[in-house]
Amino acid sequence: MAERFPFLRNLTPPKKMHVLWVEMDEETLHTVDGAFAIHDGLVNVRREYREVGGRKLFKIYVAPGCLAEALAVLDRLKKIVRIGEVIVEHEAD
């Protein structure tokens, strides 16, 4: 059987996303999500979190090439909401 979409093999795979873990509470999470909503396609704020030493760190996926901008937005948000540590974990598949 012939391959349906052979041209797809010639496309460059997309770049990998960055993963941030951001220390904040659920209330702040909604504010952060709303702030990033105006930056279409920049990040994907998740409700997934992990607890580290009694702190909640929520997961944020950042589009390739947008890490500096996402970190700058978080820095500005720190002036108005409670955001703790921001960890740049790695690039996601």
- The answer to pTM > 0.75 is yes
> So what's the pLDDT on residue 53?
92
Give residue-wise pLDDT tens across range 40-78: 889 999 999 999 999 999 999 999 989 999 999 999 999
As a whole number of Å, the end-to-end CA separation of the chain is 30
Among 46, 54, 40, 39, CA closest to 85: 54
pLDDT band for position 14 (cuts 50, 70, 90)? confident
Domain ranges, ordered by start, for the chain: 20-92
Domain 20-92: CATH class, spelled out: alpha beta
pLDDT of 8 > 90? The answer is no
pLDDT of 93 > 60? The answer is no
C-alpha to C-alpha distance for 82 and 75, rounded to whole angstroms: 11
Contact (CB, 8 A) for 62 and 42? yes
Would you say how long the chain is, in residues? Answer: 93
